[in-house]
Amino acid sequence: MSPRITVVTPSYNQEKFLEETLRSVTSQREYIHEYFVLDGGSTDGSVDIIRKYADKIDWWTSEKDKGQSDAIHRGFQRATGDYLYWVNSDDVLLPGAMAKVTAALQQNPQWDALTGYHVRIDGASRVHSLHRIPPESPANSRWGRHHVCQQTCFFRRSIYEKLGGLNLSLHCVMDTEMWCRMFDAQTVWGHIPQYLGVFRVHPEAKGRASGWLDLYTREQQMLRDVYPQYCRPNLKHRLGLKYYRMSQILSGRQLQQWLDTRRFFGKTLDEVGAQFNG
């Protein structure tokens, strides 16, 4: 039986990017079991954009929440799919990604989670860089070799529920903190060597906006304190990262991602979005 995938989009005042996100998901609805959009009570034109796509969204709401983690978690609480995925309202799901993920999960029912390659774009949807990240594993993570890109990560709902879901007290590193718990739980990670998702880097993003930097720094320190086996720099991690860099070179991934970046740099997603895996 084909795996059922629930997709959730949290959003707040992302009118500038939201439509591109919604379009990237709803264009692949035949591979999505259910799609929920949780808006935090936006005061811009976000709600009008959501209404435009409402016929392809199973449930949406626009009301005050407790932040991004809360919105994602409330969406996942409604989920009935076998696997979960969230795409933020400034990120993008690449064309054909859901078909690839569905096929991979069907062929590999032992996978608890999977990741793939990703693309980085700027605020104008111009390609900045492409990244061929290798597979994840609990063993590799203890050597400091973990590069889970949330924009490409799909995971089993039963695992999410067993772990207690996202840590709702976190607002910047909630994804990394959950990956650490998944590593602790010895989850089985799969990998699709294809470009699946797009991470948008722009001045208003949490990792860059000045209003978020202090909180981001504090939460990163928390990760180092609570999960030193994964997040605190030490000799083992330095050796692991050296091995990672060497494996990227020897495998050809580093050269190929450089060539990919050179080929697509500066072009918009609308121009080249369907060509990344061509």
Quick check: 83 and 114 in contact, CB under 8 A?
A: no
Q: Is 206 exposed, middle or buried (0-12, 13-18, 19+ CB in 10 A)?
A: middle
Q: What is the pLDDT of residue 273?
A: 83
Superfamily of domain 5-275 in CATH is: Spore Coat Polysaccharide Biosynthesis Protein SpsA; Chain A (3.90.550.10)
Q: What is the pLDDT of residue 121?
A: 97
Cα distances (angstroms) measured from residue 147 to each of 144, 196, 214: 9, 15, 23
> Which token pair is 79?
């989920």
**pLDDT tens for the 278 residues of the chain, in order:** 789 999 999 999 999 999 999 999 999 999 999 999 999 999 999 999 999 999 999 999 999 999 999 999 999 999 999 999 999 999 999 999 999 999 999 999 999 999 999 999 999 999 999 999 999 999 999 999 999 999 999 999 999 999 999 999 999 999 999 999 999 999 999 999 999 999 999 877 766 666 778 899 999 999 999 999 999 999 999 999 999 999 999 999 999 999 999 999 999 999 998 899 87
pTM summary value: 0.95
Pairwise CA distance, residues 35 & 32, whole Å: 7
Pairing of strands 34-39, 59-62: parallel
Pairwise CA distance, residues 119 & 197, whole Å: 6
Pairing of strands 113-121, 34-39: unpaired
> Which token pair is 46?
């976000």
Q: What is the pLDDT of residue 125?
A: 95
User: First CA to last CA across the chain, in angstroms?
Assistant: 28
Which amino acid is it at 263?
A: R
Cα distances (angstroms) measured from residue 220 to each of 22, 62, 150, 183: 30, 30, 16, 17
Pairwise CA distance, residues 263 & 130, whole Å: 10
Q: What is the pLDDT of residue 208?
A: 62
Q: What is the pLDDT of residue 62?
A: 97
Quick check: 164 and 80 in contact, CB under 8 A?
A: no
Q: Helix (H, G, I), strand (E, B), or coil: what is residue 88?
A: coil
Q: Helix (H, G, I), strand (E, B), or coil: what is residue 191?
A: strand
